[in-house]
Chains A and B, each alone.
Chain A
Amino acid sequence: MSGLRGLLAEFAGADDVLAAARAARRAGYVALEVFSPYPVEGVAEALAFRSRLAWVTFIAGLLGGATIFLFQGWVHAIDWHLDIGGRRSFAAPAFIVPTFEITILSAALATVFAMFVKNGLPRLHHPLFAIPAFERASQDRFFLFIGADDPRFAESAARAFLESLAPLEVHDVPR
């Protein structure tokens, strides 16, 4: 094994990095990652990545809403029943407002939490931050990364491949 974590090619434009990512997929690389200052349309598809985050939102919303609805019923019909003019104690229509609010709240919090956890964030340091040029990934530069853990990764071949995509520069990412 070399001392490299991978190679990082720097591009000036979103279209360049998108084309490079597609070329890398065609060349058989799989441990790929693209870094950009804004979401580039088509890159996720080029990397064959799909997120299932919406399921988290849906299930968390259902669970949160069902829990608070049943909880209100339990409070008013069982645990602390108040007879108010003989009205029915399981007053389902009146429970709708807190049910709605807790549905939204739990769906939103679960979505955000799942997004950060699946992204491996918060993570305060990362080997990529050691590369001075990488600070422009949050500003105006686009990067394609090939990881050394890729089964097809061989340092000289991967470097030659990245150079063939006409990047501005290819950076070594140390371990």
Chain B
Amino acid sequence: MTRGVDSERWTEGEPDLAEVNDLVVGTVQSPRTRRSWLVALTLAGFGVLALALAVFGVFWWYVGIWGIDTPVYWGIAITNFVWWVGIAHAGTLISAILLLAEQPWRRSINRFAEAMTLFAIACAGMFPLLHLGRPEFFYWLLPYPNTYGYWPQFLSPLVWDFFAVATYGTVSLVFWYIGLVPDLATMRDRSTGLRARVYGLFALGWRGSARHWERHQIAYLLLAGLATTLVVSVHTIVSFDFAVAQLPGWHVTVFPPYFVAGAIFSGFAMVLTLLIPVRAWLGLRALVTARHLDYCARLMLTAGLVVAYGYAAELFFAWYSGDPHERDLLASHLHGRSAPLFWLIVGLNVVLPQSLWWRAARRSTVWLFVLSIAINLGMWLERWLIVISSLEHGFLPTTRGAYWPTFWDWLTLAGTLGFFTFFMLLFLRFVPAIAMSELRELVAERRRRGA
């Protein structure tokens, strides 16, 4: 590392161990944000109620209440699913790949990003299950012995998807939790009464023994290695839901890498959308610095370039294939029925992110926040284009259709946004949002180098 890079630090000022602890524990214990937190939680609570209503509607009247009809069998529920799973990927990338790459800057944001991952997977997982038609039989996706003599169809991408998302959710949860255990021990030791008992219960008796740490670090590293494979595999398998089908606009070999890049792209956009207000709200600017946002923006730009390549490859191969149906869809995207949506997506996901080549844009919190919301929207619309515009178009003009989401579609989307916010707020109130034990290492390493 050159001196020029080193001169700019990952923390503002020179906090020692006690200051790091105070700052992070303060975000959980301080009453400063209690009132605004309660207001926000109440608002998000309405979102959870909306989700409960939307889920009830699907269980009671089934998917007919959504706008889906021949030929558009998959509505925005699938758009939402792909969008939410994609968002999750940034958290895993930050916690796993950047750990293996020994990037010190991940330590201030990994806990937060992993929590985002968990709740995003929970939101994502609901949609395909609700979209099953008979959501109460979702457990038929599991291979369990039953009196029908039936097994899941293991050759189906939809079953693969179930395995991929279930594994992703479980591994993300244990990865997040074992990283959290030492910090829960800190919370236990700094709380009194009932709080100390509850934290103590979840800290599982962690004492920070050298042997415990050694096994903990090895387990964490191994899990990072395993989770790294999930970063690149989960959205690959999601893309098989489309790419394995014959439909024009879906049957493309570039889909797996293009979906993974899109996932990381939208995930970093969501990290920025959440991190920028939260670090101001909780007073964590000293630990989550402008430099952290800068690095997130760089990774977002990198992923965005791969997404742009994916768009280009999709267009090129639609033309190069010579397939009349593919070429027809290409014409529709470039100057036909889906052109307004397509060019809006290009503007949001390809043109706007190019601003990140400039340092001034990466260091402008306001611009990053606006841009991250634009990219979130752009990536949601991109999945609309993939899922819905392809189905609307189909093979023959005679079988074309039109789709527009109903009230229930929108209610489900709004409900998951509320659900996500609700659990992020609970996380920020009760769990240290920054990995203290990892930051202590960072502080100690810097002292040892005599910086």
Contact = CB atoms under 8 A, between A and B. Distances in A.
A69 to B, nearest CB: 10
Which 5 pairs between the two chains have the least Cβ-Cβ distance?
A122-B204, A135-B189, A140-B17, A123-B205, A34-B210
Identify the interface centre among A36, A97, A121: most chain B CB within 10 Å of its CB: A97
A139 B186 contact: yes
B154 A76 contact: yes
Nearest to B445: A41
Interface in B172-227: 174-175, 178, 182, 185-186, 188-190, 200-201, 204-219, 222-223, 226-227
A28 interface: no
Interface stretch (A99-107, A150-158, A165-173): A99-107
B273 to A, nearest CB: 29
Contacts of A97: 160, 163-164, 237, 240
Contacts of B237: 97
A76 B150 CA distance: 11
B155 interface: yes
Nearest to B444: A14
A30 interface: no
Interface string B103-115: 0000000000000
B213 A105 contact: no
Contacts of A14: 444
Contacts of A51: 211, 214-215, 218
Contacts, number: 179
A44 B222 contact: no
A83 to B, nearest CB: 13
Given A49-B211, A97-B163, A138-B189, A91 B205 contact: no
Nearest to B151: A75
A138 B208 contact: yes
A54 B218 contact: yes
Interface residues on B, range: 35 or more
Interface in A49-106: 49-51, 53-54, 57, 71-72, 75-76, 79-80, 91, 94-95, 97-98, 100-102, 104-105
Interface residues of A, number: 60
19 contacts: A36-B213, A39-B437, A40-B210, A43-B210, A43-B213, A44-B214, A49-B211, A51-B214, A101-B164, A104-B167, A107-B222, A111-B223, A116-B204, A118-B215, A119-B216, A124-B201, A124-B204, A128-B207, A138-B208
B229 interface: yes
A98 B154 contact: yes
Nearest to B188: A138
Interface string B298-338: 00000000000000000000000000000000000000000
B171 interface: yes
Given A98-B160, A101-B164, A111-B223, A80 B150 contact: yes
Interface of A is mostly: helix
Contacts of B155: 76, 91, 94
A115 B444 contact: no
Given A37-B17, A112-B178, A121 B212 contact: yes
Contact of A138 (B201, B204, B206, B216): B206
A115 B223 CA distance: 11
A139 B207 contact: no
B29 to A, nearest CB: 14
B213 A54 contact: no
A139 B16 CA distance: 11
A137 interface: yes
Contacts of B166: 101, 105
